[in-house]
Structure 1
Amino acid sequence: MKGLLVDDDALYLRTLQRSLARRGIEADTALDIDSALALARAAPPDFAVLDLKLAQESGLALIEPLRALRPDMRILLLTGYASVATAVEAIKRGADDYLPKPATLTAILRALALAPDEVADEAVDEAGAAPDTMTPLSRLEWEHIQQALNDTGGNVSATARLLGMHRRSLQRKLAKRPGPERTPRDE
């Protein structure tokens, strides 16, 4: 089993590559579309895990060329900017699945059909995160803002009007990154 991991975050790529290697799954990594296509043309992988945002490029642009190279390739799109619109677009272009970041290794393996369904939901991946985590409200707000920005072509003033907030308030929110997902507390 050989895969292709494409993300502009080199640390994330190395971490995911090592996690897959521990499970006996080999994967090449690429930081951009051109490198990814070169690797895929040299040796078409069994699966590909693509990030939606690749610096100034979009991982959506990789789906169709990868599918053309190998029709049976499993393609998974990961994104920190999850929205219904991008999920629908990814599936329309030929992706097999779509997961919001941060996704656990178990969730990625399940989406790629590389893990048995019997994997316990209480399993913990190498990063120590449980699969059933809660998405913080700040993260949901961030994703909603990103979708609005996308809908307005990146125009902050138009996005602020669309969201019904002052432009400076939106700029302050954009300056902050949301926190990681958290597990529910048992009380």
Structure 2
Amino acid sequence: MTTNERWLLIDDDAAFVEVLQRALGRQGIEAAGAHCHAEALSALSENAFQKCVLDLNLAGESGLQLLPELLVRQPALEILVLTGYGSIATAVEAMRRGAANYLCKPVTVHQLISGFKAMATTPELRPEPPSVEEMEWEHIQRVLNEHEGNVSATARALQMHRRTLQRKLQKHSRWRN
């Protein structure tokens, strides 16, 4: 299976880029790698890409600052922001700056491909971005899981009063049932 797609992978972790390039190659997708702002902009000036996987933290440089520059150079480029440190604020900011999607590491190549497929080319088929409440809930669940269900430890990690967290958890469980 071969596609005519070319992806640009921008991540400061060279091993991650190399593994992802091989995995995408097995899916018939040609991918080029870049490890910093300058390499990414150089790659864009030399080649046309349809998709881009952009790490949020590029060895001290911000992927969020690079995102609009990429779109200025190739406006049709679909950009998926990838990060190991997901937060509601950065997800919202990435989408505001033009990202097509936002995923947290670790991810598989199939999750990346699905992350782009979820963004249909016609606007009426494009799913609504998650609401702030949904993103907050996902973040709370992630931190709660990290603290093995301990509400007090989770509240401290979220810098939230324990009772406030308990109300949010209770409200959401009522809403879901």
State the AA in 1 paired with 2:52: A
State the AA in 2 paired with 1:26: E
Within the alignment, does 1:51 sit opposite 2:51 as a pair?
A: no
Identity in percent: 43
Q: CA RMSD in A?
A: 2.6
Change (3 A) 1:26 1:82: same
Within the alignment, does 1:34 sit opposite 2:43 as a pair?
A: no
**Alignment counterpart, residue 117 of structure 2, candidates 113, 117, 136:** 113
For 1:23 and 1:3, the matched residues in 2 are separated by 12
Structure 1 residue ranges, 4+ long, deviating more than 2 angstroms after superposition: none
Decide which structure has greater helix share: 2
For 1:3 and 1:14, the matched residues in 2 are separated by 13
Unpaired stretches in structure 2, ≥5 consecutive residues: 120-140, 149-156, 161-177
What aligned pairs does 1:93-112 form with structure 2 within 5 A after superposition? 93-112=97-116
State the AA in 2 paired with 1:36: A
Question: By how many angstroms is 1:20 displaced?
Answer: 0.2
Matched residues, number: 126
Question: By how many angstroms is 1:44 displaced?
Answer: 2.5
TM score, norm. by length of structure 2: 0.65
For 1:63 and 1:46, the matched residues in 2 are separated by 14
TM score, norm. by length of structure 1: 0.61
State the AA in 1 paired with 2:70: L
Check whether the contact 1:4–1:28 (CA below 8 A) recurs between aligned residues.
yes
For 2:147 and 2:85, the matched residues in 1 are separated by 13
Check whether the contact 1:44–1:69 (CA below 8 A) recurs between aligned residues.
no
State the AA in 2 paired with 1:137: E
Q: Which residue of 1 aligns with 2:146?
A: 137
State the AA in 1 paired with 2:106: P
**Alignment counterpart, residue 79 of structure 1, candidates 75, 79, 83:** 83
